[in-house]
Structure 1
Amino acid sequence: MLNDAHITDIVTSAIIDLLGDLHDEHDDIPLDATFAEVGLNSLMLARLVIALETEVGVDPFTGDRSIVDVHTVRELVAVYAEVAGDEQSAALAR
């Protein structure tokens, strides 16, 4: 079961992996930082969403949600936490 702390770890680890040399694996990614502040451009953000879909198992940007409405790492974590929670609730209801 994914909790907020686990999703935060997944998101920040994926950012560090994607940025490679810009961040050391021991660097903290500030949750209130914008994507630009941590070094992500739009192409990298798209690659991040693909990596997170593989890792978390859900794509939160279907339907009413759009990545353009997400501006910080914390907001990205919140979107994945919400969708992962919805998926887990649905699985438990089955």
Structure 2
Amino acid sequence: MKEEKLKAFFENQVHAVVERAAVDQGSFLPYFAEHDPRDDEILALLAVSTMASGDFAPDARFPTPVEALAALPADLRSEICQEFRRHLKYCLNRTPSA
């Protein structure tokens, strides 16, 4: 996968992961409501969630989501993390139980 395609994939995963968490009372939302998530927390959450969901289609270059995220340049990983923070804030603002 090319870098932009990987970035787009993980940005879609950001929305899926946060939306699932918004309806799960035992999710990470309360934890992240208390502090701004660090990039390493976001990337780890995305890697594990993507692997667990089975949404990642491995190829020869990137057999796991962890390797795919690690292969992205720092600026693209940062953009993914910023998108996570934006969507997280949106969900926290619309979810009174978080």
Same fold (TM over 0.5): no
- TM-score by length of structure 2 reads 0.36
Q: Which has the higher contact order (CA 8 A, sep 6+)?
A: 2
Structure holding more helix per residue? 2
TM-score (norm: length of structure 1): 0.37
